[in-house]
Amino acid sequence: MSGADELDEAIALANSGRTRPTPPPAPRLKRIRRIEWNDDPRRSSEDDAGESVYASDGAPYDPDAEEAEETGEDAQETAESPAARRPRAAALPTWEEAREQAARSASALPATTLPLDHTLGHTLAAPVCALTDLPSFDTSAMDGWAVAGPGPWAVAGADGGDDAVGILAGDTAEPPQLADGEAVRIATGARIPPGTSAVLRAENADVTGKGRRLRTPEAPQPGADIRSRGQECRTGDELLPEGLHITPAVLGLCAAAGYDELRVVRRPRAEVLVLGDELLHRGLPRDGRIRDALGPMVGPWLNALGADVIATRRLGDDAEALYEVLSATTADMVVTTGSTASGPVDHLQPTLRRLGAELLVHGVRVRPGHPMLLAALPAQAHAGSAPPSTSDAPRRAHLVGLPGNPLAALSGLVTLAAPLLYALAGRVERPLAQATLGAEVSGHPSDTRLVPVVREGSGLRARVQPLRYAGPAMLRGVAAADALAVVPPGGAAPGTDVTVVDLPW
């Protein structure tokens, strides 16, 4: 473990209020299983099923090489060693640079036209302009009386009775012209009759003379409670910009403005590959093996960011299976978990080299998660991202390699996967929010830290409180969090304003 990682662990331990335990010995054997296909993460087959073969571990991690990388000192590496291939710490992008690079690495997927009720969660591929004035006619804002001129008023066409319904919302007949001194009962949303000067609310009206006369202690102002045509927009006005994420409110507005279908960017298709022979998918951790925390987390997380997750597959530490799947993927974006480092069964980097993938980001100055990577798969390794019904040109799929430590994986989702997904979806990202830290957060000497926080208080100024249990292998903090605070190198004192990344739900 490098000095920086030790710092992370020490911070996490201090946060959890416990002392450093003796680390268990590293397992000597790694199981290699055949490819296991599972399109439904909830329908996991027992991981123990099927034949297993065993292979002995190769060389252990070399903490000295990592330490040299961290400090920028020369490590004694050959040109071919994995550590030699990885850029030195000082050359790695900062957290902000990595996000920008991920955002720049892909262009928006092609646009398509979908029925309005199928567009939720997509991105607008063109501005939405009003197809009608809104309101499209002068409308009563209240239940009451349409009145013409100052009162008292004669109830128009009244044949007596308080229970005459008058003009209702949706009445297809043109409302009758009101003469000065006349009134007619009207419902909220009904068309205003020509000649109306105001709407008198029912609760302010006195009806006398067997329903023939109407008076009020306080006459309504001209125009009161009339929503005039075009108040919200005129036909052709731009209501929403291209690049906006389609929310339920957007659906409502588009329907009100006359749309039956929308031009949208199709949602990026994502495939999740969970790597690691040590992972169990049911029951309690046992025999040195642990539960897969990322299979259940990554797909839904990508979904919340706007991707359609076509499969979550558990591949174990099987280099050949990984090669096969990456060669044949039909996704726009593949997300792998684990295997980003240079351990004996970390097959991701060798497989990317074998495929001829282009490494776009390889290590980021962020904790946890610094071994995360982003690559563009070669076009020939990508069977084509287009569902048959669309006119996609062949595109290169991207791969985001999330580190195996669960909070580090989440850091990779926030740092690389989210900006890449937004770029593919043509979605304009809102500027990240700022908030005031409620407590000190110790920093990494040279890297940004992402720290789970909860919002507190109800003032205008957002305040966030760092959570405990925020070590790289822990999810306990983030599972209770509202956001991640972006803590700059060196740390941040209480009362400091920091950037916060809201969790995507």
Ligand X SMILES: Nc1nc2c(c(=O)[nH]1)N[C@H]1C(S)=C(S)[C@@H](COP(=O)(O)OP(=O)(O)OC[C@H]3O[C@@H](n4cnc5c(N)ncnc54)[C@H](O)[C@@H]3O)O[C@H]1N2
Q: Report whether 175 contacts 156 (CB < 8 A).
A: no
Strand, helix or coil at 87? coil
Two structure tokens written together for 416 = 């690389």
* Nearer of residues 114 and 290 to ligand X, judged by Cβ: 290
Which residues neighbour 35 within 8 Å (Cβ) at sequence distance 6 or greater?
313, 315, 316, 318, 320, 321, 324, 325
* Nearer of residues 274 and 357 to ligand X, judged by Cβ: 274
* Nearer of residues 5 and 143 to ligand X, judged by Cβ: 5
Binding of ligand X by 315 (CB under 6 A): no
Shortest separation between residue 77's beta carbon and ligand MOO, angstroms = 21
Candidates 91-99, 149-157, 399-407, 449-457; binding stretch for ligand X (CB under 6 A): 399-407
Q: Which of 33, 185, 367, 449 is the binder for ligand MOO (CB under 6 A)? A: 367
Binding of ligand X by 63 (CB under 6 A): yes
Of ligand X, ligand MOO, none, which one sits near residue 175, judging by CB under 5 to 8 A according to partner kind?
A: none
Pairing of β 29-33 and β 52-56 = antiparallel
Binding of ligand MOO by 443 (CB under 6 A): no
Shortest separation between residue 308's beta carbon and ligand X, angstroms = 21
Q: What is the tally of helices (H) and strands (E) in the chain?
A: 11, 29
Binding of ligand MOO by 403 (CB under 6 A): yes
Two structure tokens written together for 270 = 């994502």
The four Cα atoms 118, 298, 403, 447 give a dihedral, to 10 degrees, of: 70
Q: Which of 123, 336, 385, 405 is the binder for ligand MOO (CB under 6 A)? A: 405
Can you name the residues that pair with 139 across neighbouring β-strands? 191, 227
Of ligand X, ligand MOO, none, which one sits near residue 220, judging by CB under 5 to 8 A according to partner kind?
A: none
Q: How many CB atoms neighbour CB 460 within 10 A?
A: 5
Binding of ligand X by 279 (CB under 6 A): yes
Q: Which of 156, 200, 250, 274 is the binder for ligand X (CB under 6 A)? A: 274
Binding of ligand MOO by 369 (CB under 6 A): yes
* Nearer of residues 86 and 382 to ligand MOO, judged by Cβ: 86
Written as one string, the DSSP assignment of 175-204 is PPPPPTTEEEEE-TTPBPPTT--EEEEGGG
* Nearer of residues 299 and 371 to ligand MOO, judged by Cβ: 371
Q: By rule CB under 6 A, what count of residues binds ligand X?
A: 29
Of ligand MOO, ligand X, none, which one sits near residue 343, judging by CB under 5 to 8 A according to partner kind?
A: ligand X
First to last CA, the chain: 34
C-alpha–C-alpha distance, residues 475 and 145, integer Å:
60
Binding of ligand X by 5 (CB under 6 A): yes
Q: By rule CB under 6 A, what count of residues binds ligand MOO?
A: 11
Binding of ligand MOO by 191 (CB under 6 A): no
Amino acid residing at 445: P
C-alpha–C-alpha distance, residues 415 and 188, integer Å:
49
Which residues neighbour 202 within 8 Å (Cβ) at sequence distance 6 or greater?
142, 143, 144, 145
Q: Report whether 269 contacts 332 (CB < 8 A).
A: yes
Of ligand X, ligand MOO, none, which one sits near residue 339, judging by CB under 5 to 8 A according to partner kind?
A: ligand X
Q: Which of 9, 16, 35, 62 is the binder for ligand X (CB under 6 A)? A: 62
Q: Which of 472, 485, 492, 498 is the binder for ligand MOO (CB under 6 A)? A: 472
Binding of ligand MOO by 396 (CB under 6 A): no
Candidates 167-175, 259-267, 290-298, 478-486; binding stretch for ligand X (CB under 6 A): 290-298
Pairing of β 128-129 and β 238-240 = antiparallel
Strand, helix or coil at 382? coil
Q: State the angle between helix axes of 418-425 and 95-104 in degrees (0 to 180), rounded to the nearest 10.
A: 30
Amino acid residing at 12: A
Binding of ligand X by 351 (CB under 6 A): no
Candidates 159-167, 223-231, 336-344, 494-502; binding stretch for ligand X (CB under 6 A): 336-344
Whole-angstrom CA distances from 247 to 50, 122, 423, 425, 445 are: 44, 8, 18, 14, 40
With 0-12 / 13-18 / 19 or more C-beta atoms within 10 angstroms meaning exposed / middle / buried, residue 479 is exposed
Binding of ligand MOO by 338 (CB under 6 A): no
Prior bond of 504 cis (ω within 30°): no
Strand, helix or coil at 51? coil
Q: Report whether 60 contacts 66 (CB < 8 A).
A: no
Binding of ligand X by 294 (CB under 6 A): yes
Shortest separation between residue 369's beta carbon and ligand X, angstroms = 6
Candidates 227-235, 256-264, 274-282, 461-469; binding stretch for ligand X (CB under 6 A): 274-282
* Nearer of residues 63 and 72 to ligand X, judged by Cβ: 63
Shortest separation between residue 272's beta carbon and ligand X, angstroms = 10
Give the residue carrying structure tokens 């416990």: 18
* Nearer of residues 219 and 501 to ligand MOO, judged by Cβ: 501
Binding of ligand X by 470 (CB under 6 A): no
Written as one string, the DSSP assignment of 347-363 is -HHHHHHHHTPEEEEE-
Of ligand MOO, ligand X, none, which one sits near residue 404, judging by CB under 5 to 8 A according to partner kind?
A: ligand X
Binding of ligand X by 66 (CB under 6 A): yes
Q: How many CB atoms neighbour CB 120 within 10 A?
A: 14
Binding of ligand X by 302 (CB under 6 A): no
* Residues in touch with ligand MOO (CB under 6 A): 5, 8, 367-371, 403, 405, 408, 472
Footprint on this chain of ligand X (rule: CB under 6 A): 5, 61-63, 66, 274, 276, 278-279, 290, 292-294, 337-341, 343, 346, 368, 370-371, 403-406, 408, 472
